Amino acid sequence: MGKNIAQKIIAAHKVGGEMTPGAAVALKIDQTLTQDATGTMAYLQFEAMGLERVKTERSVSYVDHNMLQAGFENADDHRYLQSVAAKYGVYFSRPGNGICHQVHLERFGVPGKTLLGSDSHTPTNGGIGMLAMGAGGLDVAVAMGGGPFHITMPKILKVHLEGKLQPWVTGKDIILEVLRRLSVKGGVGKIIEYGGPGVATLTVPERATVTNMGAELGATTSIFPSDDKTREYMKLQKREKDWVELKADPDATYDEEIIIDLNTLEPLIAMPHSPDNVVKVREVAGTKVDQVCVGSCTNSSLYDLTVTAAILKGKSVNPGLSMTVTPGSKQVFAAISASGALTDIILSGARIIESACGPCIGMGQAPSSGAVSVRSFNRNFIGRSGTKDAKVYLASPETCAACAITGVITDPRDLGAMPKVVLPTEIKIDDAGILPPAKDPAKVEIIRGPNIQPLPQQKPLGATVFGDILLKTGDNITTDHIMPAGAQILPLRSNIPAISKFVFYRMDPNFADNALAKGGGIVVGGENYGQGSSREHAALAPMYLGVKAVISKSFARIHRDNLINFGILPLTFKNPDDLDKIDANQRLVLENVIDHLKAGKDLTVKNETTGKTFEVTYNFTPRQKEILFAGGLLNYTKAGSK
Ligand code: MIC
Ligand code: SF4
């Protein structure tokens, strides 16, 4: 039987398990990437494993998130990351070289290979036909050490693209349409594979926008074929030798399929506060805008910035708003400088920010109180921008630029004919921002500042799990709710005792104090608990505070894995209505946990406050059970298991 692209790559990398949807499968990882906000922990964990060199074909450490350097913390992290990379055989992309996913696409991604990254937008490289997945830092550390990555074999959903995008309609509008149809939990347990005649009409940067924001569907990853367009892109990067063709067999089958007609697609926009809250731009046109931001790993390619410049050329940013532009990489920055596009952006009055995540993760450019901010980014969760009552909308760079000129939400088609966008046929390739690992690792000394605190340890799982309900949450709680980021908190990513003070901070400012005073406890929630970022701090910091279990209606994949990796039990209600029958501060007890898990039996939870009981279930693989018994993946790996 013919195979689709995802099945081909999985079959070629399978080192254990079964390829039937729902079964456990272990994959060999060819490449890894880390970024600084998750990377310091990943490398501390790698160090704790006691290996001498990474065992992957290519591992790259990027610095792109923590760039404000308002104190010594960020710079200390950068120095640690640079030294640890040199010692252990990792390429180091220096601060200023660009956003991890954009730079990886440009310089390292290879069609048909596997990539594991400690960032949820790692699927960006699916735009060139990689099987690129996000994971917690600890999973990436294990992969750097040569261990496989364990997933539940996803279903493959085909998005069949027909026709051709009309002027002013973009890759961003394709993924917003997919989000509109499937929702932020529609991709859970699935790989989204793009196919059909429409694929050939899309460039690699357009495809990468689509696969990047597939993370917002909760999907394991998203992938495009590797075809002539991919070859063209790799040729521009002077990496044509890395190109291989990759396509689904003519008789390939899929578990599900949806069809999108590109001809009829219109400019779309995600409204506050969820990436799937999508409507046509026309439906909200006229809304006053206070801020516009173009950039982020979703939309900061050479094309994105060139088209933004072409729209702004000869015009001024509306006096009622502030506009920022962030090039995705040094390569893009240099190319818009050489082509003159940068001059058009500067003259328009837009503010240029260095190549980094910046406002996307709330590192600067927090909007004013109650502001409407239209961004070409991928997430608009409440408070993520740094301003709790800001209203963040997500749209294409074209829509953003149109809003920047008019001062109100504007369908770019109302600007008239598309400006002519001419991209250079050749760009300067300069890898001076990427430092290869040291030739003589023994001589490299790892530099740790006071912000780099040792990893907290977790004890093996006890037979009885008990504690008060510390917090009861609703559906779609994001890791931004659990462990917020932003300029105040992000610098503490290497210091778990310090960062843990901010767990659930925006939902309950007393959460951390309360948890510590009670000696830990249990968190309960609704559907899709832990969606969004891959940050393992959303498990590690609660672990430090003594959180022993999370009971919810369902979990997002990466966060569930992170909870297991740090020895916190992710359990689901057998009867979802039981959530309504429990409340914060009630005391829960689960007995004989280890025996029940070993026997595969559901667990009974006794609510000591009400005297009632309810059942919870789980779907752990034998390996996940062993990890939980050991008190997390690090203990499990140190004991010699993979
Ligand atoms: C994000 O977009 O939320 C981040 C910041 O890139 C995270 C990683 C992190 O929290 O460090 C992600 O997407 O995984
Ligand atoms: Fe950085 Fe934003 Fe992309 Fe996350 S989504 S990697 S914060 S640019």
**In the prediction, which pLDDT does 336 show?**
98
Q: Which CATH class is domain 268-415?
A: alpha beta
The CA distances from residue 619 to 300, 603, 623, in Å, are: 39, 12, 11
Q: At residue 641, does pLDDT exceed 80?
A: no
Helix (H) or strand (E) holding 347: helix 341-348
Average pLDDT over residues 166-171: 98
Same fold, 5-264 and 465-640: no
Q: Please, are residues 237 and 109 in contact by the beta-carbon 8 Å criterion?
A: no
pLDDT digits (tens, 9 = 90+) for 74-86: 999 999 999 999 9
The answer, yes or no, to whether any atom of ligand 2 lies below 6 A from the CB of 296, is: yes
**In the prediction, which pLDDT does 640 show?**
78
* Peptide bond between residue 273 and the one before it cis (omega within 30 degrees of 0): yes
CA pair distance 75, 499, nearest whole angstrom? 17
Average pLDDT over residues 490-514: 97
Q: In a mutational test of the pocket of ligand 2, which residue from 120, 361, 365, 490 has the highest number of ligand atoms less than 8 Å from its CB?
A: 361
Percentage of residues in the chain having pLDDT higher than 90: 98
**In the prediction, which pLDDT does 228 show?**
98
Helix (H) or strand (E) holding 252: none
Report, as residue numbers or ranges, the catalytic residues.
64-65, 119, 379, 533, 535
Q: At residue 642, does pLDDT exceed 80?
A: no
Query: Relative to the CA of 38, which ligand 1 atom is closest?
Result: 11
535 phi and psi angles, rounded to 5 deg: -55, 120
Q: Which CATH number fits domain 5-264: 3.30.499.10, 3.40.980.20, 2.40.420.20, 3.40.1160.10?
A: 3.30.499.10
- Nearest residue (by CA) to ligand 1, atom 1, is 533
607 phi and psi angles, rounded to 5 deg: -90, 100
Beta strands in 107-220 (DSSP E): 114-117, 131-134, 149-152, 155-162, 190-195
Query: Relative to the CA of 300, which ligand 2 atom is closest?
Result: 8
Cβ atoms within 10 Å of 243's Cβ, excluding its own: 22
CA pair distance 107, 390, nearest whole angstrom? 36
CA pair distance 127, 478, nearest whole angstrom? 25
Q: In a mutational test of the pocket of ligand 1, which residue from 43, 66, 119, 481 has the highest number of ligand atoms less than 8 Å from its CB?
A: 119
Name which of 104-108, 454-458, 519-523 the model is least confident about.
454-458
Question: Which residue type sits at 379?
Answer: R
pLDDT digits (tens, 9 = 90+) for 591-622: 999 999 999 999 999 999 999 999 999 999 99
Q: How far is the CA of 452 from the centre of ligand 2 (A)?
A: 23
**In the prediction, which pLDDT does 532 show?**
96
Query: Relative to the CA of 119, which ligand 2 atom is closest?
Result: 6
Q: Which CATH class is domain 465-640?
A: alpha beta
- Nearest residue (by CA) to ligand 2, atom 2, is 360
Residues with CB under 6 A from ligand 1: 37-38, 65, 119-121, 134, 361, 485, 533-535
**In the prediction, which pLDDT does 638 show?**
84
Q: How far is the CA of 134 from the centre of ligand 1 (A)?
A: 10
Residue 483: nearest ligand to its CA? 1
Tell me the CA end-to-end span of the chain in Å, nearest whole number: 32
The answer, yes or no, to whether any atom of ligand 2 lies below 6 A from the CB of 36, is: no
Q: At residue 458, does pLDDT exceed 80?
A: yes
- Nearest residue (by CA) to ligand 1, atom 12, is 533
pLDDT digits (tens, 9 = 90+) for 2-44: 999 999 999 999 999 999 999 999 999 999 999 999 999 999 9
Average pLDDT over residues 421-446: 96
* Residue 210, both tokens: 């689509």
Q: How far is the CA of 569 from the centre of ligand 2 (A)?
A: 28
Residue 39: nearest ligand to its CA? 1
Q: How confident is the model at residue 57 (pLDDT cuts 50, 70, 90)?
A: very high
pLDDT digits (tens, 9 = 90+) for 232-272: 999 999 999 999 999 999 999 999 999 999 999 999 999 99
Average pLDDT over residues 370-376: 99
Average pLDDT over residues 389-406: 98
Domain regions of the chain by residue span: 5-264, 268-415, 465-640
Q: Please, are residues 376 and 396 in contact by the beta-carbon 8 Å criterion?
A: yes
Query: Relative to the CA of 215, which ligand 2 atom is closest?
Result: 5
